[in-house]
Amino acid sequence: MLKRWTSIGVALVVAVSLVVVFLARYAKPAAAEKTGTFVIGAITPMSGLGASWGIPQTKGLGMAVDSINKAGGVRIGDTHYAIDLKLMDSKLDTAEAVSCCHKLIEQYKVKAIFTSDSAAGVAIRDIRDAAKVIGMDSGWSRDISKGTKYQFRFQPGSYETSLALYRYIKKIDGPGTKIAVLDPDYEGGWADTNYVKSWAKKYNLDLVFSEFYTPGTKDFTPILTKLLRKKPSYIDAGCSGGDYPILIKQAYDMGYRGTLIYKGDTMVRDMLEIAGPERAFGVHATFGLLDFVSKKATSEQRAVYKKVMETVGYVNTLLFTSYDGVFMLKQAWEGSGSLDADVVCNWLRTHEWHSIARGENIRVAPEAAGIYHGNKGCATTAPVSLVQMRPGGIYESWCLEAPEWESEFHEPPKNIKK
Amino acid sequence: MDAAFYLQMTITAVVLSLLYILMASGFNLVFGIIGIVNFAHGTFYMLGATFVYWFMKSYGWSYFFAGIASVALAYGIGWLCERYLMRGVRGDILGSIIITLGLLMIFQSAAQIIWGEWDKAVPSPVTGVINIGGAFLPWETVLPMVGALVVMMLLYWFLMYTKLGLSLRAVTNNREAAALMGININFSYSLGFAIGCTLAAAAGVLIAPLWSISSTMGSTPLWKTFIVVILGGMGSLPGAVVAGILLGVVDSFVTTLFSSAAAHIFGFGIIITILVFRPRGLMGQI
């Protein structure tokens, strides 16, 4: 009897062992979740001149990357990639931007590089293209993406905003209205002045003054002395970054009560801080935060706006568009199932992607490699709009007539002067 | 072009000239007494402006009280720098250049870290604009003009009519003889350096309500100071006055009549021409 049970026991042990061996050898293990990391970079002025663009951009990029990583990262196939963001301070210097670019590409092997100014964007354009690194730029000059394969302008620049603005000025003030343009002496400023000249000519506006100043100028009184003698109705200081609030202040103190134009809203905080609400009253920018603050803002946009205010404490277009730009790339990486620049860019040009800034799905337009929707003007920000400072630091936005855009929000005032 | 146009240019020229003279005087004092080129001079200008912003914003002090505290703090920092950093490289030109360049980088970076990258503003204690025949003179422009004149007069009085000022001039004239006469050279060096830094800081305090404040705001005034000092003559205070006026006029008039690029060409053209015929500068002695 005992011998029989012993035999059965031994047989059972052998059988179980064989099963275990078989399972260990041939059974497929449960699929382990694969993880990885890739790097994106930003070359943006985080100090000195241009910090008022660069810092908001870094905030927007950081918020987007954190948000994506917390939600599981970028999923490509069965791999979840975390994004590692490398920020480089270009100091608004072209040589520095090139050096940063080489470092990001060669050392960090980045998949994309964001910039916020034309100087950097143009300087590294060919380097990025040769290395097949996707470029996301918000500088003024269209040359950033001209003739390139992988570079995109992800927010409207002077070309688009000047066009809409000057068309609007002609509509409300008539042909022959006197315009003065004052730009800093670098890539963005040169581009802006060229666009202003062409649109002023197209709309029969009288360009009475055009000059470049040295970036970093703190004393505009010599130039303003000359400019104000021309009695312009509008002073367009389109590309002036950190210099603009000083310009407003000194123009006001020298008796100018016409309309000052700044094409961008990155300076709102500085206008109030440096120029003061009284001097900033009546200053106009040509794109703002309509999407996020208007009655038509979507719940998603309102949520992003709230998050920005809680995290950063101020609002800024470049912050939002940079934030949106990272999500655009995420959709392209996931949609194309690849990190390869050729595949991703092809996907962007053939598919729609959801823009938080626009609150809708849009697609890159083929012309100028800009991120435009084919028939709705500029993408990733509000349509070209008008922002007017009011006493107390409040500013209101109206939508201007963009080339193919109908005014959807507030009705713009008949006269945009104070 | 009418009188108001030229008057506006003249007002701008006066403000710029006084700023350059103030900066160059401090620089020349340091060079004259210690014999070093202080590359951190523009940084003290930045610190003066930044300190006044800090005192007004964080402690709610008035502009005048914050300004006095700022220059006092700059004086103290200057003294400490000379006493503990510069003294060890006395006579070593390369060493002093490296240290002052290092101070420039340290102070600039520290200012960026402590007070942030954003441009800042100091509210002016005076407001309003005077209209002089069509030319506009804001009261906040009058402030640095008057302030700079007061500081220069105080400097003149100090150097000419006080015992300490006399001792500094003696050291400038002949270091060895001054030491033999019982003048404490170490003390004079520290005093001279500190006063030089104070003058730069005073310029920053005076200009703070007029322009914006940033950690890099000292770079342009520094190279303008170099121009004025070289043009006027290294170590020459009267030369700094003449050259400061010349540069202020060029900057204002040429920029207005032509362009800022033309002002650079014209300004450097004059300097090169003068230096070709007078290498030691307009009133230099070395």
Reported as a single tens digit per residue, the pLDDT across A5-15 is: 777 777 777 77
ipTM above 0.95, yes or no: no
Q: Is the predicted pLDDT of residue A99 greater than 90, yes or no?
A: yes
Interchain CB distance below 8 Å, B251 and A229: no
Interchain CB distance below 8 Å, B136 and A245: no
Q: Is the predicted pLDDT of residue A380 greater than 60, yes or no?
A: no
Interchain CB distance below 8 Å, B256 and A46: no
What integer pLDDT is reported at residue A389 of this predicted model? 61
Position with higher pLDDT, A345 vs A415? A345
User: What are the tens digits of pLDDT across the range B177-213?
Assistant: 999 999 999 999 999 999 999 999 999 999 999 888 9
Interchain CB distance below 8 Å, B220 and A47: no
- Domains of chain A, earliest start first: 35-156+316-369 (3.40.50.2300), 158-262+267-291+383-399 (3.40.50.2300)
Tokens 């003279």 locate to B21
Q: Does A404 touch chain B (CB under 8 A)?
A: no
The dihedrals phi and psi of B44, each to the nearest 5 degrees, come to -70, -35
Q: Among A225, A227, A230, A273, pick the best mutation site for testing chain B contact (most B Cβ within 10 A).
A: A225
Q: Does A319 touch chain B (CB under 8 A)?
A: no
Distance, in angstroms, between A185 CA and closest chain B CA? 9
Q: Is the predicted pLDDT of residue A141 greater than 60, yes or no?
A: yes
Q: For chain A, what percent of residues have pLDDT higher than 90?
A: 31
CB A136 within 8 A of CB A329: yes
Interchain CB distance below 8 Å, B119 and A211: no
Q: Is the predicted pLDDT of residue A230 greater than 80, yes or no?
A: yes
Q: Does B108 touch chain A (CB under 8 A)?
A: no
Q: Among B255, B258, B264, pick the best mutation site for testing chain A contact (most A Cβ within 10 A).
A: B255
B 119-148 near A (Cβ less than 8 A): 119-121, 123, 129, 131, 136, 138, 140-141
Average pLDDT, integer, range A152-168: 78
- 3-state SS, chain A, equals CHHHHHHHHHHHHHHHHHHHHHHHHHCCCCCCCEEEEEEEEEEECCCCCCHHHHHHHHHHHHHHHHHHHHCCCEEECCEEEEEEEEEEECCCCHHHHHHHHHHHHHCCCCCEEEECCHHHHHHHHHHHHHCCCEEEECCCCHHHCCCCCCEEECCCCHHHHHHHHHHHHHHHHCCCCEEEEEEECCHHHHHHHHHHHHHHHHCCCEEEEEEEECCCCCCCHHHHHHHHCCCCCEEECCCCCCCHHHHHHHHHHCCCCCEEEECCCCCHHHHHHHHHHHHHCCCEECCCCHHHHCCCCCHHHHHHHHHHHHHCCCCCHHHHHHHHHHHHHHHHHHHHCCCCHHHHHHHHHHCCEEECCCCEEECCCCHHHECECCCCCECCCCCCEEEEECCCCCEEEEECCCCCCCCCCCCCCCCCCC
Mean per-residue pLDDT of chain A: 79
What integer pLDDT is reported at residue A22 of this predicted model? 66
**Residue B116 half-sphere exposure toward CB, CA atoms < 13 A:** 8
Banded pLDDT at A100 (limits 50, 70, 90): very high
Banded pLDDT at A411 (limits 50, 70, 90): very low
Other beta carbons less than 10 A from residue A108's beta carbon? 16
Banded pLDDT at B225 (limits 50, 70, 90): very high
What integer pLDDT is reported at residue A379 of this predicted model? 42
Q: Among B14, B212, B247, pick the best mutation site for testing chain A contact (most A Cβ within 10 A).
A: B212
Average pLDDT, integer, range B109-120: 88
A216 closest CB neighbour out of B129, B131, B220: B220
Interchain CB distance below 8 Å, A47 and B112: yes
**Residues of chain B with C-beta less than 8 angstroms from the C-beta of A214:** 260-261, 264
Beta-bridge partner residues of A120: none
Banded pLDDT at A305 (limits 50, 70, 90): confident
Nearest CA in chain B to A254: B136
**Residues of chain B with C-beta less than 8 angstroms from the C-beta of A220:** none
Nearest CA in chain A to B251: A222
What integer pLDDT is reported at residue A73 of this predicted model? 95
A242 closest CB neighbour out of B119, B253, B256: B119
Interchain CB distance below 8 Å, B216 and A213: no
Banded pLDDT at A267 (limits 50, 70, 90): low
User: What are the tens digits of pLDDT across the range A31-54?
Assistant: 557 899 999 999 999 887 788 788
**Residues of chain B with C-beta less than 8 angstroms from the C-beta of A216:** 220
Banded pLDDT at A376 (limits 50, 70, 90): very low
CB A280 within 8 A of CB A389: yes
User: What are the tens digits of pLDDT across the range B254-263?
Assistant: 888 888 788 8
Average pLDDT, integer, range A367-375: 42
Q: Does B118 touch chain A (CB under 8 A)?
A: yes
Q: Is the predicted pLDDT of residue A402 greater than 90, yes or no?
A: no
Interchain CB distance below 8 Å, A47 and B257: no
Banded pLDDT at A417 (limits 50, 70, 90): very low
Distance, in angstroms, between A79 CA and closest chain B CA? 39
Q: Is the predicted pLDDT of residue B171 greater than 80, yes or no?
A: yes
Q: For chain B, what percent of residues have pLDDT higher than 70?
A: 99
Position with higher pLDDT, B276 vs A379? B276
Average pLDDT, integer, range A303-316: 81
Interchain CB distance below 8 Å, A48 and B5: no
B211 closest CB neighbour out of A47, A185, A246: A246
What integer pLDDT is reported at residue B60 of this predicted model? 94
Banded pLDDT at A370 (limits 50, 70, 90): very low
Position with higher pLDDT, A82 vs A413? A82
Q: Does A400 touch chain B (CB under 8 A)?
A: no
Side chain identity at A341, as an amino acid letter? A
> What is this structure's pTM?
0.80
B103-107 long-range contacts, CB within 8 A, separation 24+: B103/B39, B103/B40, B103/B43, B104/B39, B104/B40, B104/B42, B104/B43, B104/B218, B107/B40, B107/B43, B107/B44, B107/B46, B107/B47
Distance, in angstroms, between B126 CA and closest chain A CA? 13
